[in-house]
Chains A and B, each alone.
Chain A
Amino acid sequence: MTDLFYLVPLLPLIGFLINGLIGSKLKNEKLIGTISTAAVFIPFVLTVLTMSELLSLPPESRKIIVNYFNWISAGNFSVNYSYLIDPLSVTMVLVVTGVGSLIHLYSIGYMHGDRAFAKFFAYLNLFIFAMLNLVLADSLILIFLGWEGVGLCSYFLIGFWYEKTFTGEAAKKAFVVNRIGDFGFMIAMFFVFTNFNTLEVSKFLEGLSGYQVGDSLLLTIALLFFLGATGKSAQIPLFVWLPDAMAGPTPVSALIHAATMVTAGVYFVARTSLLYAMSPVALNVIFIVALLTSLITATIALKQNDIKKVLAYSTVSQLGFMFMALGIGAFWVGIFHLITHAFFKALLFLGSGSVIHGMHEEQDITKMGGLKNKMKITYITFLIGSLAIAGIPPLSGFFSKDAIIFDSFLNFGIPILLPVLFAAGLTAYYMFRMVSLTFFGTPRYDVNQLHPHESPSTMTLPLIILAVLSVIGGFIGLPELYGTPNFLMDWLNPVFADANKTLAAIHPPHAHEVSQELIILVVSVVVAVIAIYLAFKKYSSVKEIKSPEGFGKVLENKYYIDEIYDAAIIEPVRKTSENFLWKIFDIKIIDGFVNGIARYISNISFDWRKIQTGVIQDYTAVSVAGVILIILYLLFI
């Protein structure tokens, strides 16, 4: 399979070129959509084959590097265009192409009739190509190529409906905020190359053996890369772009801003797990940032009324859970939650798209209500997704989230367990506030004007498949408790072997009893059930939503973080640039000086011009005076 593996990223690229160059001339939505979906689905099949091939190898040799060509070569710097095929990258490719093809399929229905139908699919394929590069790349700089490529597609797709004013603004914000993270990523790469003389991930990780755990250089590199991750994966302080990114079409939110691109930071930390295992401080930083992000955004989600905004803040919060897992050093758990989240969050976003579609572009949940009878499939699948994210057994989210909660407890004890449980409870609460407001109660829209309807089958089929995955997805990583084999952990752990060994040497694994695990499991389920009950009770039959007051208002306004950034950073930079750098320094000082010299010279010349009187007697007098002076000089000095 590996000699055909180049087709995996190549097909989406070809799909992009076909739809990008001649798509608008095809004038056939079905054909465009089919080409585009096939360009993602065939790679999925190929990767399944690759996976079965890898499985037939012994675990320690499941690592294949395929080299294509030399990309950049200058002096002692040389970087190859090469891919690394191992359990981690294969897992990511499966998520990207698997969930990706479902979302492509869904988009055929969702984008029906859009003026730029072909362009949309071209961008989606380009995104898949860039994302596959990101997860397959063997060197940091090639990862960065994918990293920036997905950012570019995100920019295009957020701003897809460019005629609205705010889409362009949101697209730019996403790109620029991500660039702040990229700044960290680039500096980290410079440090790596300077000290390890390579940008290849595997060589870099091998080079780490020459360093002590806790080395300050490694910490610097780890934190700089994490800065990059906070950009792409929307963590504090750079999460502000993701909620605005909801300006893009809903399939984009599902694919890019929930299931795949935003998990790039999680993937990257897992990919360089040894680096982080060797920098315990960085792991702690990651955990703290993740926990705070998760809490802050989950509270914001409580008071949002835009169905997509709730899901956006929820995504940020769930990404926080993934990073918490990484911060504990449970790398496979981070990836586990990444996978289950890809299922249920893609499902929820696509479900919200179906709702928006059925409600004729209405996104405000306070203007919905009682949709469960009108959109049956959407309702049931959405409910499944919500139960999954809330952590109700035996749905997928339950297993992955429980693993995180339990590992937090093992590592940090009760004081950390409580806020983590609280964040999990908030998740259940805001989800069921949304479910209740959307599907239960009585309509709060004008029933005579608006007739909600179920979406076409190209849209509901992906919903059903994703719902099934959300139900069963958790079984790939069953906890020890049941004494069953944990497929995902065994599959991924060879990749994390060095990191796990290092961590085990720092703090020996905590001995724990199954009873502890059972108690935590029960507690987390109870928390979720109570939260669901409270939310349902409060919102399922509410007639009118009052706008919040007090702290609720702060939450509704997202803690005013955007306003604070604006006042503290953006405006000062802009004002200084305009009013000082440009208008004073450039124009008054530098140019004033330049023009001043010119004026000075011309003024002097103007004065000296008067010497040229044109009167012959004056010239004679000066000449004679000169001659006399010369004679005096020669005689006396």
Chain B
Amino acid sequence: MQNILSILIFLPFILSLPIIFFKKDNEKLIKNYAFLVSLIPFALSVYLFFIFNPGKGEYQFVEKFEWIKIIKTNYFLGVDGISLLLILMSTFMFPLSILASWTSITKNLKAFYFLIILLDAGLIGVFASLDLILFYIFWEIILIPMYFIIGIWGSEDRIYATVKFFLYTMFGSLLMLIGIIWLGFICIPFTGGEFTTDLTQLTSVAYRIPLDKQIYLFVLFTLSFLIKVPLFPFHTWLPDAHVQAPTAGSVILAAVLLKMGTYGLIRFSIALFPAAFVKLTPYIAVLAVIGIVYGALVSIVQKDIKKLVAYSSVSHLGFIVLGTFAITDVAMQGSVIQMINHGLSTGALFMIVGILYDRRHTKAIAEFGGLMKVMPVFSVIYTIVVFSSIGLPGLNGFVGEFLILLGSFYSSNLGTNLYSIISTTAVILAAVYLLWMFQRVMLGPIDKEANKSLKDLNAREFLSFVPILVFIVWIGIYPNTFLSKTESSVKKIIENFHENQKKLGNIKLENNTGDKLSDINK
């Protein structure tokens, strides 16, 4: 399969088109069909995972066709270990979120499942694109289905949340678009007089951009990513979006969409603007650390279970950003595996909230209590997921968190171990907010009449959790299956980064002696 990435992106999309022609009231057919279609990209990405060569740091399964000749924009796809894992995780979450929507989505099924598959395809596109314009297009495509998923199938306040989500991220996207165009222009002298949006080509020359302009470009790109992450203080769209979104929307938003931001930081911010990256590291690292602690503290006092999980995401994603800016192989490998871990645990937490909401139609923590007695199977799953999110050794969350904190501790780019030390306080706070949530929902006496007759998980619900639990334990006990896939890719990114730094130093030296390269600075 030469064009496996294209197949991955377009096959589900093409297969989703028949949904439009299904009979509206044949709900069973629509759901089953959508579920089966969502399994195809997952199966393909598992295949991709096995044929991927972990020894190579270069992009693999590359496809490149001329697309828009005048701006030298190519249809250019390829994956390295990092994008591979993200594609695998994202295609993995879609069948599960379809299962989670099975009974909770009751109107416009055709549109809902069509949009879900569209989202799936778009996300694979984001992680596989190696051309900036192509990346931007996929990046923007994602907004459309998400906008409708929250706006149509969301809760009471969905319109405010949708508009906020859309404007926030759209604002970021536009900055990135400006950045892409400006970057293309500014690199013309270095590429031999051509405007290009080819990532690999730009990566090899962009470090030569003078620092002041590099900082502007870095900010344009990075701000867009940080809003998506979202990093403190750009996070306020997230709790609203989560609270209003239907379960599947929240699961995909948390598990995959947010990773677009952290992925962008690794793929673009580091690779294209190394000097600006170093220069602005302290500011972003400070925001990341504030976010880690702030998100945790605000989580503690939430009364809405979904909001609690949303704020916990702000804290958890802060770790990933910190690990990225540490630029050590340990921390960055930690960040990548943590993207997967957060997808699994927080995805599962939102599915858990969905289970509760489906039964009680409320997300207020105070409405629950003592559910362990009536929902024993559910309580086992809930427990495992909570401890995965807390970062208990032996489960997945610990591996990522530990590698990030360790790698940040001795990072020379961060320059001090204080970031890591302060962030480590989150291991205490995470236990506080998650265990308190668990206690208030599951433990104690059942004092609400409505909770006494709640049903435990049915087979569909149970099966939707099992795959996640398998990976939660797998990554906790044998993370090397996944870490080994990213090893070379991460090494290569960091090597490139240091090489560019070094070359940059040489250019500066030449400038001082009045070399002809000085016209770059104009």
Query: For the complex, is B443 an interface residue (Cβ under 8 Å from A)?
Result: yes
Inter-chain CA distance A188–B256, complex, in Å, is 34
Query: For the complex, is A551 an interface residue (Cβ under 8 Å from B)?
Result: no
Interface centre among A72, A74, A168 (most CB of B within 10 A): A74
Smallest beta-carbon distance A149→chain B, Å: 6
Known contacts A148-B392, A187-B421; A194/B409 CB under 8 A: yes
Contact with B along A174-191 (1 / 0, CB 8 A): 011001101100110111
B394 touches A168 (CB 8 A): no
Query: For the complex, is B491 an interface residue (Cβ under 8 Å from A)?
Result: yes
A73 touches B394 (CB 8 A): no
Smallest beta-carbon distance B159→chain A, Å: 13
**Nearest A-chain residue to B394, judged by Cβ:** A145
Interface residues of A in 47-87 (CB under 8 A from B): 69-77
Among B236, B409, B436, B445, point to the contact of A594 (Cβ < 8 A).
B236
Query: For the complex, is B373 an interface residue (Cβ under 8 Å from A)?
Result: yes
Inter-chain CA distance A141–B399, complex, in Å, is 11
Inter-chain CA distance A147–B294, complex, in Å, is 27
Inter-chain CA distance A532–B233, complex, in Å, is 63
B491 touches A75 (CB 8 A): yes
Residues of A within 8 A of B398 (CB): 148
A152 touches B428 (CB 8 A): no
Contact with A along B132-174 (1 / 0, CB 8 A): 0000000000000000000000000000000010011000000
A190 touches B417 (CB 8 A): yes
Interface residues of A in 307-332 (CB under 8 A from B): none
B428 touches A179 (CB 8 A): yes
Smallest beta-carbon distance B130→chain A, Å: 25
Residues of A within 8 A of B334 (CB): 74
Known contacts A73-B484, A169-B439, A578-B301; A182/B392 CB under 8 A: no
Known contacts A141-B402, A149-B393, A590-B236; A598/B167 CB under 8 A: yes
Query: For the complex, is A574 an interface residue (Cβ under 8 Å from B)?
Result: yes
Smallest beta-carbon distance A72→chain B, Å: 6
Interface residues of B in 283-337 (CB under 8 A from A): 294, 297-298, 300-302, 328-330, 333-334
Query: For the complex, is B479 an interface residue (Cβ under 8 Å from A)?
Result: yes
Residues of A within 8 A of B236 (CB): 586, 590-591, 594
Query: For the complex, is B365 an interface residue (Cβ under 8 Å from A)?
Result: no
Smallest beta-carbon distance B456→chain A, Å: 13
Among B393, B405, B443, B483, point to the contact of A74 (Cβ < 8 A).
B483
A149 touches B294 (CB 8 A): no
Query: For the complex, is A530 an interface residue (Cβ under 8 Å from B)?
Result: no
Inter-chain CA distance A172–B439, complex, in Å, is 8
**Nearest B-chain residue to A591, judged by Cβ:** B236
B164 touches A594 (CB 8 A): yes
Residues of A within 8 A of B237 (CB): 594
Inter-chain CA distance A73–B334, complex, in Å, is 10
Q: Which of A159-167, A206-214, A356-364, A444-452 contacts B (4 or more CB under 8 A)?
A: A159-167
Query: For the complex, is B89 an interface residue (Cβ under 8 Å from A)?
Result: no
Contact with B along A420-432 (1 / 0, CB 8 A): 0000000000000
Query: For the complex, is B480 an interface residue (Cβ under 8 Å from A)?
Result: yes
Among A70, A74, A163, A172, point to the contact of B333 (Cβ < 8 A).
A74
Known contacts A145-B393, A577-B298, A582-B301; A193/B406 CB under 8 A: yes
Query: For the complex, is A22 an interface residue (Cβ under 8 Å from B)?
Result: no
Query: For the complex, is A144 an interface residue (Cβ under 8 Å from B)?
Result: yes
Query: For the complex, is B40 an interface residue (Cβ under 8 Å from A)?
Result: no
Contact with B along A531-550 (1 / 0, CB 8 A): 00000000000000000000
Among A179, A190, A591, point to the contact of B406 (Cβ < 8 A).
A190
Residues of A within 8 A of B393 (CB): 141, 144-145, 147-149
Query: For the complex, is A581 an interface residue (Cβ under 8 Å from B)?
Result: yes
Query: For the complex, is B9 an interface residue (Cβ under 8 Å from A)?
Result: no
B443 touches A573 (CB 8 A): no
Interface centre among A73, A77, A176, A578 (most CB of B within 10 A): A77
Interface residues of A in 579-616 (CB under 8 A from B): 581-582, 586, 590-591, 594, 598
Contact with A along B448-488 (1 / 0, CB 8 A): 00000000000000000000000000000111100110010
Residues of A within 8 A of B427 (CB): 179, 182-183, 186
Among B298, B405, B445, point to the contact of A163 (Cβ < 8 A).
B445
Residues of A within 8 A of B478 (CB): 69, 71
B435 touches A175 (CB 8 A): yes
B301 touches A577 (CB 8 A): yes
Interface residues of B in 353-378 (CB under 8 A from A): 370, 372-373
**Nearest B-chain residue to A75, judged by Cβ:** B329
A72 touches B399 (CB 8 A): yes
Residues of B within 8 A of A73 (CB): 480, 483-484
Interface centre among B302, B392, B393, B420 (most CB of A within 10 A): B393
Smallest beta-carbon distance A124→chain B, Å: 17
Residues of B within 8 A of A71 (CB): 477-480
Identify 16 residue pairs between A and B in the complex whose beta-carbon atoms are under 8 Å apart, listed by A's number.
A71-B477, A72-B479, A73-B483, A74-B330, A74-B334, A77-B330, A148-B394, A149-B394, A172-B439, A176-B432, A179-B428, A179-B431, A183-B428, A186-B427, A190-B409, A594-B168
CB-CB nearest 5 A-B residue pairs = A75-B329, A168-B443, A578-B301, A74-B333, A190-B409
B interface residue numbers (CB < 8 A to A): 164, 167-168, 233, 235-237, 294, 297-298, 300-302, 328-330, 333-334, 370, 372-373, 387, 392-394, 398-399, 402-403, 405-407, 409-410, 417, 420-421, 424-425, 427-428, 431-432, 435-436, 439, 442-445, 477-480, 483-484, 487, 490-491
A interface residue numbers (CB < 8 A to B): 69-77, 141, 144-145, 147-149, 152, 155, 159, 162-165, 167-169, 171-172, 175-176, 179-180, 182-183, 186-187, 189-191, 193-194, 573-574, 576-578, 581-582, 586, 590-591, 594, 598
